[in-house]
Structure 1
Amino acid sequence: MTRPFISGIPALDAYLSDGFEKVPGMSSRFSATICGHLMRRQTEMGIRGSVAEIGAFEGRFLIAMGHALAAGEHAYGFDVFTWPDDRVLDRFVANAERHGLDRSRYTPRPFDSGKLTVDEFAGLTGRGPLRFIHIDGDHSPEPLTHDLELAHARLHPQGLICLDDMLHPGYPFLVVTVHAYLTAHPEMVLMCVIDREDIVAAPKFLICRRDAVALYETDLMASFPDQHFVLGGDAMGHHCVVLTQHPRLAEV
């Protein structure tokens, strides 16, 4: 029997069902469902902290994260909000209101993350640890390296960094930057690959501390058996979870 593919958070699942794809953006509903599930699991395990997105655009993914917040937590959305025009921030706020995210639960941060120090980033995100950080900013090596260092410095010890557009045909070597980050920080591992929906809804990587992997990987395989690619992935010596919409093995 096929299990329902949901996050388990009613407000988030309602948004994913009717709203998510009405907000411009390129994150997939498939990945947002899995990330929402992970945030729910964090809450159930007592992992507390706010969330941040670098590259919030018009709010598609940040609204999803906002619906997964626990009491007292906050969502921070970073973007220059000037592309493709100077009304992006207005549309971001309107989308959040339209899809039920209360204004008290989130703060747009109109900053170029590439120009922020770790201390400035901390000050703009409440100075507490962040339990979930989504990075979807400038897709070139130097900016991604900087965004990863910001996230690394502020991540909750059991938190998750989610990287968008990994293995995207438009950015085929962006993963080299992630490999360099993981090499420089051997305490961090690629815990899960969330496969693409299509070329405009590309894969995501979920990264966490090595000692936090057990909090998530078995639960993901058990919670999403119909999406689990059982061979997993060879992630620099770590056998990571792979979730895809249509898992199958080649006939040989």
Structure 2
Amino acid sequence: MADKEANLTTQTPPLAPGSAFLTYMESGFPQIAGWPGQPSSVIFMAHFKELFERHGVTGGACEIGVHHGKYLIALHNILAPARSLGIDVFDDQDKNVDGSGKGSYDLTRAYVDSFVADPDSVALMSKDSLTLNAADQAEILAEYGRFAFFSIDGGHTAQHITYDFFLASELTSPYGIIAVDDMFHPDWPGVTEGILAALATRRSPFVPLFLTRKKLMLCHFSVAKPYHDFILGICRDVYKFDPTMVTLCGHAIPSLNFGSEY
């Protein structure tokens, strides 16, 4: 286990030095408050840019539960020059019913302006995700198209997670990735309860792809096999180890250990 953890925490940049993403990871990421996981687990996500390009995916990132934008900026900079969207109750904390994080619109906007090459390509929406309806979804699709990355990190109740997952399923490209934060976290059992309940309905075409200590990543069922093979290839060819395989909801998926991520 120690050798695998050491391999994964070796930061092997999949993007060229000087890219907006790597510049942000070196200088901006450490400055912003938030809990997106180890830098190495965030850097690992940049490998998917190659896969997205292979499938002609041009969408940006969307995140529900932005906090101060730490993870959203990283995902956006991987996908730039695509357009991205952050959704959060921000300063309307009366709607933060479970106290999961405390977003700030002004801080997030300032960090986006500082660490995104084209700040106008990232929009922020002050909204409770539970109030987003079919008309709102259609408006988002018309404005942004389908997203390549969709991060779910808003309300941590089972109700929030289930609703946000089905919303993400509608707004994410069939070649995209959905990330569910705080999976199996002992302080937030609603996350695990909510996503397992959602997956059990089989209403979404998105299925488990891989786990970290902090997040569950999901992809469209139709690309699960090639995406699974891609991840195993990255682990073996870049990080030089075979990941531990686990079974979740009937899917055998890699469990990647980036060390303590909370």
- TM surpasses 0.5: yes
TM category (shorter chain) comes to 0.7 to 0.9
Percent identity for Structure 1 against Structure 2:
24
Q: Distance in 2 between matches of 1:17 and 1:114?
A: 35
Find 1:222's aligned residue among 213, 233, 239: 233
1:31 and 1:204 in contact (8 A); partners too: no
1:24 maps to 2:33: yes
Find 2:156's aligned residue among 139, 144, 164: 139
CA pair 171-190 structure 1, distance change in 2 beyond 3 A: same
Give how far 1:40 is off.
4.0
Give how far 1:154 is off.
1.8
Q: Distance in 2 between matches of 1:38 and 1:151?
A: 18
Say which SS state the counterpart of residue 177 (structure 1) adopts: helix
Give the unaligned 5+ runs of structure 1. 196-202, 247-252
Give how far 1:84 is off.
6.9
Say which SS state the counterpart of residue 89 (structure 2) adopts: coil
Match of 2:257 in 1: 244
1:64 maps to 2:77: no
What's the TM-score, normalizing by structure 2? 0.81
- Within a 5 Å distance, the mapping from 1:204-215 to structure 2 comes to 204-215=215-226
Q: Distance in 1 between matches of 2:20 and 2:144?
A: 27
Give the unaligned 5+ runs of structure 2. 1-6, 95-101
Give how far 1:109 is off.
0.8
Q: Distance in 2 between matches of 1:38 and 1:124?
A: 23
Q: Distance in 2 between matches of 1:15 and 1:127?
A: 23
Corresponding letter in the other structure for 2:25: L
Say which SS state the counterpart of residue 18 (structure 1) adopts: helix
Over aligned residues, Cα RMSD in angstroms? 2.4
Q: Distance in 1 between matches of 2:107 and 2:162?
A: 29
- Structure with bigger helix share is 2
1:190 and 1:235 in contact (8 A); partners too: yes
Corresponding letter in the other structure for 1:165: D
- Residues 156-192 of structure 1: CA distance to partner in whole angstroms, max 9, x if unpaired? 1122111111111211352121111111126432011
Corresponding letter in the other structure for 2:28: G
What's the TM-score, normalizing by structure 1? 0.84
Q: Distance in 2 between matches of 1:48 and 1:215?
A: 19
Give how far 1:151 is off.
0.8
Q: Distance in 2 between matches of 1:24 and 1:233?
A: 31
Match of 2:136 in 1: 120
- Residues 33-81 of structure 1: CA distance to partner in whole angstroms, max 9, x if unpaired? 122222343124312223210011111011111111244x211000111
Corresponding letter in the other structure for 1:46: G
- Residues 134-167 of structure 1: CA distance to partner in whole angstroms, max 9, x if unpaired? 0000000111111111111222112211111111
Q: Distance in 1 between matches of 2:241 and 2:184?
A: 19
Q: Distance in 1 between matches of 2:158 and 2:249?
A: 19
2:180 and 2:216 in contact (8 A); partners too: yes
Match of 1:6 in 2: 13
Match of 1:191 in 2: 209
Match of 2:98 in 1: none
